């Protein structure tokens, strides 16, 4: 993918960097108190085009390629995670699924709306299933020209304020090979029969909301079926998860950089034994190890994104980059708490929040363990084929 003109992208990135530090970071205190991104910031983010980064220009987007998108997410994720959460489901997953699997009519209807800042949700996980699609319970039953949806989706990011959800549902009771029993539906959230549970209380990630989506006899027309073909939904969803995983990996790398900057500031200000703790070699070791690991994650993410832009299948590399970046972020924020010492355990200081916010990165868009299994499965399959 050619993407946005490089000079234009560089200028945009510089503008975003300033915006993140001058506007988004200072607003974090208010979001921590209210658990909501202020309306005026939401408007500014829409006006900056942050909801349409990867949408083609003809649909009102910026037309970024994957390398530019992941770089943008890293910059945006220097600020607290809710800013990425509200935009990234649109761009990283639902837009990707539409671009890869939507009909011309679906693209024409939904891409401009998503680029303009309507909020999307991605409805895969259920109370009894996530990566295990054979256990999925949500059913889409044919009714006239359309379908009736029944089921519950769980831990759905943006559900409380989404305008549309991409819902995965069974169109066959039997589990079929290659997950052909699962289809995807574009469902406006104001469709009768849809209700949203109360926003779940979480360990961290203030301002980002997850909730259940409950569907009771939800009638959707035939053209709600993504791609107009049954049995393609799960495949499309999994392909868009590659982008979702690069987005989460980029978020982890961006936030690790923020945490490390915070630790650098603290280590230079805090004195012990008459000098800044930054002078102590074991503090320096933690700072250096963090720098090394962030750099490694950035390189992995840039390489995977470049390969995706070149048309390579990056399933394994996207999974590897997401695992490394999210686990790396966990190690960095742990060191940051340690550098802060006793202050790192207090809610008054940022280190404690960085620690809590980062824990989810190793879980969503595929847990570390599921992705390890996926990577190994593909390694072993390739080994068998070449043996």
What does the block give as tokens for 153?
Answer: 């989706």
Among the listed residues 75, 230, 298, 365, the single catalytic one is 365
- What are the φ/ψ torsions at residue 302 (nearest 5 degrees)? -65, -40
* 146-157 and 210-220 beta bridge pairing: antiparallel
Alpha carbon distance 78, 84 (integer Å): 10
The DSSP letter of residue 144 is T
Angle at 175 between CA 233 and CA 238, to 5 degrees: 30
Rg of the chain over all Cα atoms, to the nearest angstrom: 21
Alpha carbon distance 182, 138 (integer Å): 9
Task: Report the 10 Å Cβ neighbour count for 145.
Answer: 8
Residue 166 near residue 157 (C-beta atoms within 8 A): no
Burial bucket for residue 6 (CB in 10 Å: 0-12, 13-18, 19+)? exposed
Alpha carbon distance 181, 139 (integer Å): 10
Nearest CA to 212 among 169, 253, 264, 156? 156
Alpha carbon distance 238, 32 (integer Å): 33
Residue 231 near residue 181 (C-beta atoms within 8 A): yes
What does the block give as tokens for 119?
Answer: 């909020």
58 has catalytic annotation: no
Burial bucket for residue 327 (CB in 10 Å: 0-12, 13-18, 19+)? middle
- Give the list of residues 6+ apart from residue 386 with CB closer than 8 angstroms, or none: none
Catalytic positions, written as ranges: 365
């Amino acid at each position: 993918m050619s993407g946005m003109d490089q000079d234009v992208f560089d200028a945009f990135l510089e503008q975003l960097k300033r915006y993140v530090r001058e506007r988004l970071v200072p607003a974090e205190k208010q979001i921590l108190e209210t658990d909501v991104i202020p309306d005026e910031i939401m408007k500014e983010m829409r006006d900056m085009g942050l909801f349409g980064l990867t949408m083609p220009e003809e649909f009102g987007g910026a037309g970024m390629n994957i390398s530019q998108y992941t770089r943008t997410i890293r910059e945006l994720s220097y600020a607290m995670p809710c800013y990425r959460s509200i935009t990234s489901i649109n761009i990283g997953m639902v837009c990707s699924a539409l671009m890869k699997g939507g009909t011309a009519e679906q693209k024409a209807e939904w891409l401009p709306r998503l680029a303009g800042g309507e909020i999307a949700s991605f409805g895969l996980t259920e109370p009894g299933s996530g990566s295990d699609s054979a256990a999925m319970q949500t059913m889409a039953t044919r009714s006239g020209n359309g379908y009736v949806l029944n089921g519950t989706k769980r831990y759905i990011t943006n559900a409380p304020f989404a305008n549309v959800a991409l819902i995965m549902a069974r169109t066959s009771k039997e589990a079929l090979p290659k997950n052909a029993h699962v289809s995807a539906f574009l469902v406006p959230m104001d469709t009768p029969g849809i209700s949203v549970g109360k926003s779940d209380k979480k360990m961290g990630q203030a301002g980002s909301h997850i909730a259940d989506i409950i569907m009771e006899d939800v009638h959707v027309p035939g053209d709600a079926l993504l791609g107009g073909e049954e049995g393609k939904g799960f495949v499309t969803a999994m392909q868009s998860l590659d982008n979702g995983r690069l987005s989460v990996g980029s978020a982890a790398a961006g936030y690790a950089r923020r945490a490390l900057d915070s630790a650098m500031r603290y280590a230079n200000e805090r004195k012990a034994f008459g000098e800044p703790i930054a002078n102590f070699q074991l503090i320096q070791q933690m700072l250096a190890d963090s720098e090394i690991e962030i750099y490694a994650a950035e390189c992995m993410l840039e390489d995977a994104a470049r390969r995706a832009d070149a048309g390579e299948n990056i399933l394994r590399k996207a999974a590897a980059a997401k695992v490394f970046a999210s686990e790396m972020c966990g190690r960095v924020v742990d060191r940051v708490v340690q550098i802060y010492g006793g202050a790192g355990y207090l809610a008054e200081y940022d280190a404690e929040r960085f620690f809590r916010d980062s824990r989810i990165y190793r879980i969503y868009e595929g847990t570390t363990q599921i992705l390890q299994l996926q990577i190994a499965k593909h390694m072993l399959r390739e080994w068998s084929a070449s043996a």
